[in-house]
Chain A
Amino acid sequence: MSHETWQEQLRRGSLDLAILLTVSPGPRYGLAIIQHLEAFTDLVVSEGTIYPILGRLTREGLLDATWVEGEAAHARKYYRLTKAGAQRLDQMKREWREFAGKITRLIDDAERHDHAAQ
């Protein structure tokens, strides 16, 4: 596997969690979600690929989507976390921290051995 492939898999695997985290404080519309992700991460490679993921998360019942008229010159589609989405997010956060913690321990251990060998 090339480094780029690994990075791409990591990115795609993290997007669901990042999107759910982005809407967890309150409803956001598509572009606001993208801008938030861009401000905090490098996960958005192409803006147009975020909307299909939002659609899937909505079909899965994790997000609820509502069109809001009159707020801007055009309608905006707002996404908010559902109860099921909040539960999934809690689960994902727990698993992410556990996973990241284990990998970090592995890295630390490998680096300790590296330093000891030098």
Chain B
Amino acid sequence: MQLSDTGESRVNGYLFVLERSLKTFLPIDVVRDAVREIESHLRERIGATDASPNERVALEQILSELGPPLRVAQAYSAERTIDEAVATGRFVATVRAVSQLAASTLGGFSSSRAGCSSVIWFRSPSSPSQS
């Protein structure tokens, strides 16, 4: 599918929101790489879609399968924070990881109620944090 100017604007708008969200907690080179990868995903999906009489519907379907940009950014944030928590075993990072998971997933919400240790076990069974 070849995008019209309107379709291109929609894609660029999605990437703009994603980039702005990621910039709040990731180094700029990591943000650029992440946005490039998400754009590559979108271009691949769009390229593989047959020309549609209703471009807007087809494009919204692709974007919805990818997920809203804020949710994607939240997933990057959660993975980074969990990384930090597991690597350092620091209490603050662990609590932050739990609260981010709690905000973004049902599993995380449940884990936050059950306590931090269940999330650490869940993410990294081999982590020394579990002991």
Q: Which residues of A contact B (CB under 8 A)?
A: 1-2, 4-5, 8-9, 11-13, 29-31, 46-49, 51-53, 55-56, 59-60, 67, 72-77, 91, 95
Contacts and interface: CB of A to CB of B under 8 A. Distances in A.
B38 to A, nearest CB: 7
Contacts of A56: 79-80, 82-83
A71 to B, nearest CB: 11
A48 B75 contact: yes
| Dominant SS among interface residues on chain B | helix
Contacts of A48: 38, 66-67, 71-72, 75
B56 interface: no
A87 to B, nearest CB: 12
Interface residues of B, number: 33
B78 interface: yes
A117 to B, nearest CB: 32
25 contacts: A9-B122, A12-B107, A13-B122, A46-B65, A48-B38, A48-B67, A48-B72, A48-B75, A49-B71, A51-B37, A51-B41, A51-B76, A52-B75, A53-B79, A55-B30, A56-B80, A56-B82, A56-B83, A60-B83, A73-B47, A74-B44, A75-B36, A76-B40, A77-B37, A95-B125
